């Protein structure tokens, strides 16, 4: 890391060598509703506050040059079980986010992509999502992956189904299916696996998130709910990651 770049980093991250930084951070943003209830507010107020935190953390990751990818678990495939009123608010919040954040994303040179199934998402939300993805396609800074209507098991099913169709069409031999072949049919194709997985609100679960991709990710959990998460907490997670030894099944001698 150059001296100029290090000078722009907050303490104590300025002393972390470039090779010790996570290049891809994935976050399970949990605890919006519980945070709101503790404040005596409606659950939707927690989601609204959480949207502001998304902006702050995305901007901070875009500013921290060693970070190249940020994946946010926005809506799981299981979240459709929530009350209709809460889901309607979440869709409105997502639509507003996609519209309102465009100038900031362009200013910060952020490229937006979606991972997940499009089925079930309202057309108006998909339209705004497609506009944001298209508008930011030429940006070459932070890659922001929004996991919407996403489920890790569903992703693996879709990958297997796609490979099965190729086998039926005679385009691939079953004996040639390996990890690389499966990876090419995941929603995250072309993007590196996460180095660091952050979960908020103290929950010790993966919750069907990036099951294939986080095989060797370092996991960091905070008791803070997502509306309480801030740049200092992000820095804490990065610093903890930098102090770990990643062996990928091998031995460090």
- Annotated ligand binding at 207? The verdict is yes
- Annotated ligand binding at 76? The verdict is yes
Q: Which of 48, 79, 208, 230 is catalytic?
A: 79
Cβ within 8 Å of residue 190, ≥6 positions away:
none
Asked if 79 is an active-site residue, the reply is yes
- Annotated ligand binding at 121? The verdict is no
- Annotated ligand binding at 250? The verdict is no
Q: Which of 30, 108, 145, 195 is catalytic?
A: 30
Read off the tokens for 140.
């070459």
- Annotated ligand binding at 35? The verdict is yes
User: Is the Cβ–Cβ distance between 18 and 64 less than 8 Å?
Assistant: no
- Annotated ligand binding at 206? The verdict is yes
Q: Could you list the beta-strand ranges (E) of the chain.
A: 24-28, 69-76, 111-115, 143-150, 196-199, 218-221
User: Is the Cβ–Cβ distance between 13 and 22 less than 8 Å?
Assistant: no
Strand partners, 197: 26, 219
- Annotated ligand binding at 82? The verdict is yes
- Annotated ligand binding at 57? The verdict is no
Q: Could you list the beta-strand ranges (E) of 94-251.
A: 111-115, 143-150, 196-199, 218-221
Binding residues: 30-35, 43, 47, 76-78, 80, 82, 199, 205-207, 218
Instruction: List residues forming the annotated binding site for Mg(2+).
Output: 30, 218
- Binding positions for substrate: 31-35, 43, 47, 76-78, 80, 82, 199, 205-207
* Residues annotated as catalytic (active site), given as ranges: 30, 79
């Amino acid at each position: 890391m150059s001296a100029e770049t290090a000078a722009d980093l907050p303490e104590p991250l300025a002393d972390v060598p470039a090779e010790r930084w996570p290049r891809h951070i994935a976050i399970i943003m949990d605890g919006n509703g519980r945070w709101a209830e503790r404040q005596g507010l409606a659950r939707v107020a927690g989601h609204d506050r959480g949207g502001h935190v998304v902006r702050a953390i995305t901007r901070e990751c875009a500013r921290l040059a060693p970070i190249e990818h940020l994946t946010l678990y926005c809506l799981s495939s299981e979240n459709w079980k929530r009350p209709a009123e809460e889901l309607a608010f979440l869709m409105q919040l997502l639509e507003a986010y996609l519209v309102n954040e465009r100038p900031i994303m362009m200013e910060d040179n952020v490229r937006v992509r979606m991972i997940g199934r499009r089925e079930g998402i309202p057309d108006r939300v998909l339209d705004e999502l497609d506009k944001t993805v298209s508008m930011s396609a030429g940006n070459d800074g932070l890659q922001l992956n929004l996991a919407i209507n996403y489920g890790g098991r569903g992703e693996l099913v879709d990958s297997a189904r796609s490979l099965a169709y190729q086998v039926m069409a005679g385009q691939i031999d079953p004996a040639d299916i390996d990890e690389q072949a499966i990876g090419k049919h995941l929603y995250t194709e072309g993007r590196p696996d996460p180095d660091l997985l952050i979960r908020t609100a103290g929950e010790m679960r993966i919750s069907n998130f990036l099951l294939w991709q986080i095989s060797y990710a370092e996991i960091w959990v905070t008791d803070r709910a997502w509306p309480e998460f801030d740049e200092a907490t992000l820095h804490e997670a990065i610093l903890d990651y930098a102090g770990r030894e990643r062996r990928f099944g091998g031995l460090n001698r």
